[in-house]
Every structure is written in structure tokens, then in C-alpha cells.
Structure 1
Amino acid sequence: MPSKMIIRQPEPVMESKESNQWGSKICDCCEDVPDCCFACWCCPCYACKHSKAYGQCLCLPLLDMFGFIPPVSMAMRVSMRHRYGIKDTMCNDCLYATFCNCCSWCQISKEMRRRNIPIILVSAKNT
């Protein structure tokens, strides 16, 4: 009986000289009034725009409309925390995504601009 050998490659780890905290508070979205207005008046469009900029599917945030807890908004916060090494809790992510969704997306947007780390596709194959 042949046996299978499984080789596990090390996963990339991002080390950052940046702070391990969010660059802005959840209610600091009013510092950039046009951005805040866009998020408040058309949060689905705003979320789709920043989801695309983050490297995810453009229409992914539209799935948030089908439940009480918006799964995509929460997942984006968790992903951003892991990508940038931000210390916070899943409980806060859930609360912010559920009750302060447009402010949460503003915070995500500001963090992307502040960190300005390019997206690198690690598992891309050459053709």
C-alpha cells in the first residue's frame, strides 16, 4: 500500500514596524467629512469600493444584507487585524460590524490608507 507524503510549506508572516492598534477610533470617521458622508449615505457602494481595494471581490459586501450580523464586514475587520497585526477582539469586531457598520468601513478605509501596504499574491502561479 503506497503512502502519501505531505509537505507543509511555511506560511508568510508579515512583520510590521507600525503600531499594533487601529490608527483611528471607531467614531473618528467624521474627520474626513466627504468620506464619512459617502459611507453613511451609500454604505453598500462604499463597502464594495473598499473591498475591491483590499483585494477581495467587488460585490462581496452585498452579502451583508441577508443577516442580522454582517458576516463580510466582520470578516474584513478580522482579516485586516490579522494582516496588519492589530490587537483587538472578535467581540469588538462583531459589535462594530453590527451596530456601527458604516463607521467600521470608514475605519477600515483609513487604516488601508494609513498603512499603504501593497497587496502581494503569494499563491499566484506563473502561466
Structure 2
Amino acid sequence: MASKMVIQQPKPVIMTAGSDQWSTSICECDNVNDCCFSCWCFPCFACITARDHGECLCLPLLDTCGLIPPITLSMRVSMRRHFGITDTICNDCIYAFFCGPCSWCQIRREMKARLYPVTLFNNRAQ
């Protein structure tokens, strides 16, 4: 008689921020892989993050169309509205203009902290 053994891995504990605040600051780096990826291959990182948020994969490539990167700004505003985060458009403009990679990292961290589905690589067979 054969018996089956079922082993379940413990689930990770994720601390979430208050419903009206960002879970991390703009320069916080809790995942070195994401931070390095955003610094060394920023266009790829931004495109993958936009795709995971449900936008077009190539949308961040339009960020070169203005003084303040319009896609980075709109993604920050979209994240704030989606999760009810209290912040100002002025802060979004400053972060988009001066700290593009850090801003995208913060968006990605927020998606992970709020249990939003995030994938860096898709290995599913089509």
C-alpha cells in the first residue's frame, strides 16, 4: 500500500503599509536584484513593471517625450489611485523628473507589498 506525503512550504510574511501610504520610501532598496536591474537595464525594468501593472509593455519607452517623463508620472498617479495612497502630484513630478529608476522601483515594491501579481520573467510554455 502506497501512501502520499504532502509537504507545504510556509508562506512568506509580507508587511503592508497603511492603506493611505507608500509601503517604502523612494530610495529604499529591499530587493538588491530589482535595484540593480533598474540601474543597469532601466528601460527593460520599466517596461516589465508597466506590463505587470496591466499597461502596454513598451509604454515606458515614450518617457523621452517631455521635460517631466509622462509615463513615469502617470504610473505613479495610477498606483496611488489604485491603492488609495495619499500623496501629491507635485511629489510625483519631482520623483519622475529627478529619480526615474528609484520611482519605478518604488512602484514595483508597492505592487509586491500590496500582493499585486508581479513577474520579472515569464517561463510559461505558450
- Equivalent residue for 1:80? 79
**Superposed CA RMSD:** 1.5
SS in 2 for 1:62: helix
- Equivalent residue for 2:108? 109
- Equivalent residue for 1:49? 48
- Equivalent residue for 1:19? 19
Identity in percent:
58
SS in 2 for 1:31: coil
Letter in 2 for 1:77: R
Q: Which runs of 4+ in 1 moved over 3 A?
A: none
After TM superposition, the score normalised by the length of structure 2 is: 0.76
Q: Report deviation, 1:18.
A: 4.6
- Structure 1 CA distance, aligned partners of 2:69 and 2:55? 16
Q: Report deviation, 1:67.
A: 2.1
Which sections of structure 1, spanning at least 5 residues, go unmatched? 1-16, 119-127
Which sections of structure 2, spanning at least 5 residues, go unmatched? 1-16, 118-126
Matches within 5 A, 1:57-68: 57-68=56-67
- Structure 2 CA distance, aligned partners of 1:19 and 1:90? 18
Q: Report deviation, 1:19.
A: 2.2
- Structure 2 CA distance, aligned partners of 1:47 and 1:117? 16
SS in 2 for 1:25: coil
1:50-107 CA-partner distances (Å, limit 9, x unpaired): 0000000000000002222100000000010001000000000000011000000000
- Structure 2 CA distance, aligned partners of 1:19 and 1:85? 7
After TM superposition, the score normalised by the length of structure 1 is: 0.75
Q: Report deviation, 1:117.
A: 3.9
- Structure 1 CA distance, aligned partners of 2:24 and 2:55? 23
